[in-house]
């Protein structure tokens, strides 16, 4: 693409928050859409955070990024998603003391209902949506359900952070570089029930289960460490992961838009097409490959009894969340 290429419009919600602070400068630098693609940022916040967002926009200007063609700020989703080719839904209502998961679903329902409707009305025809704000899979399900004119497969949620965390743990255990691991898969929900699956992983061409040869470590260390990593970071930092989440969001959109590495998989939470017994329409994480701006769920994998049980636990949690938001009136069954 030449420098005269038309800018891609990228909308980011929660743009004054912690994750956005790690995300916006990398988008502006070309890390997400490529060094030949100019971007137009549309930044969305709640009214109380618009002042702080103006400061972030000043910093973006001061970066003098050659690819950053304009910055618009809004507190109105109907304005913020106008013409969006990529929509990163980062802003969400956080869990506060005493809140149950059901309360969190209820608090986020109106946000993602409105944003889904606004995307439906005003985003570009080719919009790609990534939901980062938790509970990410179910927030994406709500947005998808409120955007009937946008193809359902454009609504995705972030489990690439879990995928990257799994690779990091495997690299630490074996002493082999993370880049040598292929075919890691995260299944299910971005929650403590997720299933990080190494049964198909190869390391430098050999089955990882043979190289590791320690099923006790896989079951009692690796899986719980990846499942609980978000909580461990909150405990250590006093705030949830931000730079690593931003980096994973960049990876997710970069691979979706520009293709994943040949011979490898990435993990994305996407509307199920019924593959692997996951009910159709549920936004669940799968191993996928990406090419030509589209992702495909990896087909034909053997799922052993252990993996089946773990996938079923996480899918059951997602079904419970889906039913709760349908009962609350935020989504319809799809």
User: Residue 18 annotated as binding?
Assistant: yes
Per rule CB under 6 A, count of chain residues that contact ligand LMR: 6
State how far the Cα of 88 lies from the Cα of 15, in Å rounded to an integer: 10
- Asked whether 294 and 260 are in contact (CB, 8 A), the reply is no
252 catalytic residue (yes or no): no
With CB under 5 to 8 Å by kind, the binding choice for 14 among ligand NAD, ligand LMR, none is ligand NAD
Residue with smallest beta-carbon separation from ligand LMR = 230
Is there a binding annotation on residue 115? yes
Q: Compute the least distance from the CB of residue 210 to ligand LMR, in Å.
A: 30
Query: Which residue, 36 or 103, has its beta carbon nearer to ligand LMR?
Result: 103
Residue of 163, 190, 200, 252 with catalytic role:
190
- Interface residues for ligand LMR in 227-286 (CB under 6 A)? 230, 233, 240-241
Residues 115-174 touching ligand NAD, rule: CB under 6 A, are 132-134, 136, 158, 161
Give whichever of 79 and 233 is closer to ligand LMR, judged by the CB atom.
233
Comparing CB distances to ligand NAD, the nearer of 95 and 173 is 95
Q: Which of 10, 32, 33, 111 binds ligand NAD (CB under 6 A)?
A: 111
C-beta closer to ligand LMR: residue 58 or 243: 243
Tell whether 310 is in a known binding site: no
Annotated binding residues for substrate, written as ranges, equal: 95, 101, 134, 165
Return residues touching ligand NAD (CB under 6 A): 13-14, 16-20, 44-46, 49, 90-94, 111, 132-134, 136, 158, 161, 190, 240-242, 245
């Amino acid at each position: 693409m030449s420098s005269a290429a038309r800018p891609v419009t990228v909308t980011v919600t929660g743009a004054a928050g912690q994750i956005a602070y790690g995300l916006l400068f990398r988008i502006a630098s070309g890390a997400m859409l490529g060094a030949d693609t100019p971007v137009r940022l549309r930044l969305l916040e709640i009214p109380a955070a618009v002042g702080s967002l103006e400061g972030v926009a000043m910093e973006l200007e001061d970066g003098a990024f050659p690819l950053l063609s304009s910055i618009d700020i809004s507190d109105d989703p109907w304005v913020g998603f106008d013409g969006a080719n990529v929509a990163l839904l980062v802003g969400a209502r956080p869990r506060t003391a005493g809140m149950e998961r059901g309360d969190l679903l209820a608090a986020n329902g109106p946000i993602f209902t409105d944003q889904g409707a606004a995307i439906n009305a005003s985003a570009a025809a080719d919009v790609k949506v990534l939901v980062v704000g938790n509970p990410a899979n179910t927030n994406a399900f709500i947005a998808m359900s409120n955007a009937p004119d946008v193809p359902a497969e454009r609504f995705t949620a972030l489990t690439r952070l879990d995928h990257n965390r799994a690779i990091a743990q495997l690299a630490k255990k074996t002493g082999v570089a993370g880049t040598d691991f292929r075919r890691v898969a995260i299944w299910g929900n971005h929650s403590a029930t997720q299933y990080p699956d190494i049964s198909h992983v190869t390391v430098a061409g050999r089955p990882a289960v043979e190289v590791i040869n320690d099923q006790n470590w896989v079951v009692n260390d690796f899986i719980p460490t990846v499942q609980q990593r978000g909580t461990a970071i909150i405990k250590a930092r006093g705030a949830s992961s931000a730079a690593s989440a931003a980096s994973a969001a960049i990876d997710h959109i970069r691979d979706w838009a520009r293709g994943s590495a040949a011979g490898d998989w990435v993990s994305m939470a996407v509307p199920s097409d019924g593959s692997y017994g996951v009910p159709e329409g549920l936004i669940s994480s799968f191993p996928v490959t990406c090419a030509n701006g589209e992702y495909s769920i990896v087909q034909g994998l053997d799922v052993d009894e252990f993996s089946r049980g773990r996938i079923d636990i996480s899918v059951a949690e997602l079904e419970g969340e889906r039913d709760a938001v349908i009962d609350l009136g935020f989504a319809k069954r799809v």
